[in-house]
Amino acid sequence: VSRKIGEEGALPYMIGLMRSPDERIQEQAATLLRNLSVNDENKNRIAQAGGLAPLIILLSSPLPRIQEQAAVALRNVSLTEENETALVHEGALPPLVELLQHSDDHIVEQALVTLRNISVNVDNEVKMVHAGVLTPLITLLRSPKTSIQEQACGTVRNLSVNA
C-alpha cells in the first residue's frame, strides 16, 4: 500500500501539508512521509517531489513529536546515495547537529543514524566537520545509552576515512 500511495501522486499534497500553520496537520503529514519512506521506491520519490526541505524545517519544530516524525523520515530517505548529498545540499546539517543535544534520546538517535548514513559519502565528510558535528559526536560517545554510543561511533568511524 505504501508504494501504491507514492505511485498515486499523494506526495505533493502531503509535502504541502507539512507547511501548514496547524501543527496537528504538520505532524500527520510528517508521519505519513515517515511511513511512506520505509518503501525503497518512495525514498527518492519524496526527494524528487520536494519533500526534503519541509522535513528539514520540521526538525526545528518546537514540538518534539513533530521533530521525531521528521527525523525518522529523513533517516529513512538518507539510505539512498542520491539523498545522501541532497540532504546536505538542502541544509539538513545544522538542524541535525542541533538535535544531537536534544533531551529526548530517541530524537538524538534518529539524528545520529541520519548523520551516520550521510557520512558514508566522501563529499559530505568535510561539510559535516565544518557544520560542527565532531564535538557533539565525541560527547555522545560517553552517553549512558549504548545505541547512542554505537551510532556516534559509527559516524565518527565513517568521518575518519577522510585523510
Q: Output the pLDDT for position 2.
A: 65
Task: Provide the pLDDT for residue 22.
Answer: 97
Q: Please, which residues have CB within 8 angstroms of residue 132's CB and are 6 or more apart in sequence?
A: 97
Cα–Cα dist 1/123, whole Å:
35
Are 126 and 162 in contact by the 8 Å Cβ rule? The answer is yes
Contacts for 55-61: CB closer than 8 Å, 24+ residues apart:
55/18, 55/30, 56/87, 56/90, 56/91, 56/92, 56/95, 57/18, 57/19, 58/18, 58/26, 58/30, 59/92, 59/95, 59/96, 59/98, 59/99, 59/111, 60/95, 60/98, 61/23, 61/26
The residue whose grid cell reads 565532531 is 134
Which amino acid, 140?
Answer: L
Structure confidence at residue 95 (pLDDT): 98
* pLDDT at site 6: 63
How does pLDDT run across 41-80, given as a tens digit for each residue? 899 999 999 999 999 999 999 999 999 999 999 999 999 9
Give the orientation angle of helix 122-130 with respect to helix 146-159, to 10 degrees. 110
pLDDT under 50 in the chain at which residues? none
- What gap in Å lies between CA 106 and CA 68, rounded to an integer? 8
Which pLDDT value is given to residue 41?
87
